[in-house]
């Protein structure tokens, strides 16, 4: 039986009990041939009805509150409200059951989140150790070789010192990127928001990366000729870094003899979309969700051969989000990838 309203139920029970008592009194008085005083019987019935209603309603409610209170204590007080304030009916038991399920689901999510963070921390520390260890061992190997006598040969000495210097530069790059991403994640990096021409910044990035692109015979170009400036509101140096990282990635992982195209599109009256598209190998859809994680590499062996700290896309994401903008990627294996992010129009 599902009780929708305990107060009505207690009144009904009280009425039935009062009626039974009245019938019993009438039967007794009829059997003993005692005179029945109707008014007195009605007053007695009313008093009994009120008394029984109070006893049943308050007594049973107190007992149920006590039982529910024990359950609530066992689940660490699921709701911050006094049990005595609950109107007791069957819905409250449904409410309690729902609370227990919600509590269990919430705790399960917290455990899963803690496990994810622990795994992420373990992976991150392992990746940092590996990324730092590689250039350190490289430097150590070259220096030990020179100490053991190779320094006498000028050609070998110069070659090994240059390689050691390149390894130190990579180590320095990793440390700088870690410092930058830490500042971005702790909101400790100040943005200098100003108006600038995004086309001019794109062209500047092309000029900076021209030599790297020529090594792989990759053409850097805009999708069309922009005869008027496209002004945006952002931190120019940080957006330049975003474009450098994205274009550099397209050079590293693009097809030899391919093309990297940057385009500017209008999203609406307030935002523009900056796209960096290459015609390289593309990225498998299973790798895309983790693409902006720190040190995550789609092809670990090939990525390390190309150099870099493994933090480029993570930094890009943090810089874009620091501007309260969004970044995403579309990719088709064998056709290339397109990274795109929004900026506010000036």
94 is a domain residue:
no
**Residue range(s) defining the domain that contains residue 248:** 193-345
Q: Let me know whether 171 and 203 are in one domain.
A: no
Burial (CB count within 10 angstroms: exposed 0-12, middle 13-18, buried 19+), residue 277: buried
Last residue within a domain, chosen from 62, 88, 114: 88
Write out the two tokens for 279.
């015609």
Write out the two tokens for 91.
């819905």
Q: Let me know whether 228 and 328 are in one domain.
A: yes
Q: Let me know whether 283 and 177 are in one domain.
A: no
312 is a domain residue:
yes
- pLDDT over threshold 60, residue 295: yes
> Residue 303: what pLDDT?
47
What is the C-alpha separation between 238 and 343, in angstroms, rounded? 12
Give how many domains the chain has, as a whole number.
3
What is the C-alpha separation between 239 and 198, in angstroms, rounded? 9
Query: Tens digit of pLDDT for each residue in 133-179?
Result: 777 888 888 888 888 887 788 888 888 888 888 788 778 877 777 77
Last residue within a domain, chosen from 185, 207, 240: 185
- pLDDT over threshold 90, residue 31: no
Its pTM stands at 0.56
Question: 166 to each of 184, 238, 259, how far by Cα in Å?
Answer: 27, 25, 28
Q: Of the given ranges (23-32, 287-296, 300-309), which has the lowest mean pLDDT?
A: 300-309
Q: Let me know whether 68 and 32 are in one domain.
A: yes
For residue 163, what is the domain's CATH number?
A: 1.10.287.130
Query: Tens digit of pLDDT for each residue in 181-223?
Result: 777 767 767 888 999 999 999 999 999 899 889 989 999 999 9
> Does an H or E element contain 219, and which?
strand 219-222
């Amino acid at each position: 039986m599902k009780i929708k309203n305990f107060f009505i139920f207690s009144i009904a029970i009280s009425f039935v009990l009062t009626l039974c008592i009245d019938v019993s009194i009438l039967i007794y008085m009829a059997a003993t041939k005692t005179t029945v005083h109707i008014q007195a019987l009605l007053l007695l019935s009313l008093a009994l009805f009120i008394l029984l209603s109070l006893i049943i309603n308050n007594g049973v409610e107190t007992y149920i509150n006590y039982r529910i209170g024990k359950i609530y204590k066992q689940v660490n007080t699921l709701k911050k409200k006094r049990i005595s304030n609950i109107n007791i009916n069957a819905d409250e038991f449904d409410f309690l059951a729902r609370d227990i399920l919600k509590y269990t689901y919430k705790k399960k999510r917290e455990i899963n989140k803690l496990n994810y963070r622990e795994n992420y921390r373990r992976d991150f520390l392992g990746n940092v150790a590996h990324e730092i260890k590689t250039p350190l061992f490289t430097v150590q190997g070259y220096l030990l070789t020179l100490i053991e006598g190779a320094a006498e040969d000028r050609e070998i000495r110069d070659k090994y010192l240059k390689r050691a210097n390149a390894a130190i530069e990579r180590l320095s790059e990793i440390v700088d990127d870690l410092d930058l991403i830490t500042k971005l994640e702790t909101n400790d990096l100040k943005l200098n928001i100003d108006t600038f021409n995004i086309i001019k910044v794109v062209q500047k990035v092309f000029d900076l990366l021209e030599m790297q692109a020529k090594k792989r015979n990759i053409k850097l170009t805009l999708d069309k000729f922009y005869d008027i400036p496209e002004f945006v509101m952002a931190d120019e140096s940080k957006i330049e870094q975003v474009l450098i990282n994205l274009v550099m990635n397209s050079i590293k992982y693009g097809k030899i003899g391919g093309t990297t195209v940057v385009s500017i599109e209008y999203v609406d009256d307030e935002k523009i979309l900056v796209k960096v598209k290459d015609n390289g190998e593309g990225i498998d859809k299973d790798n895309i969700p983790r693409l902006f994680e720190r040190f995550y590499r789609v092809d670990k062996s090939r990525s390390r051969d190309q150099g870099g700290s493994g933090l480029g896309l993570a930094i890009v994401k943090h810089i874009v989000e620091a501007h309260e903008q969004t970044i995403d990627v579309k990719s088709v294996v064998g056709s290339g990838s397109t990274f795109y992010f929004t900026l506010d129009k000036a």
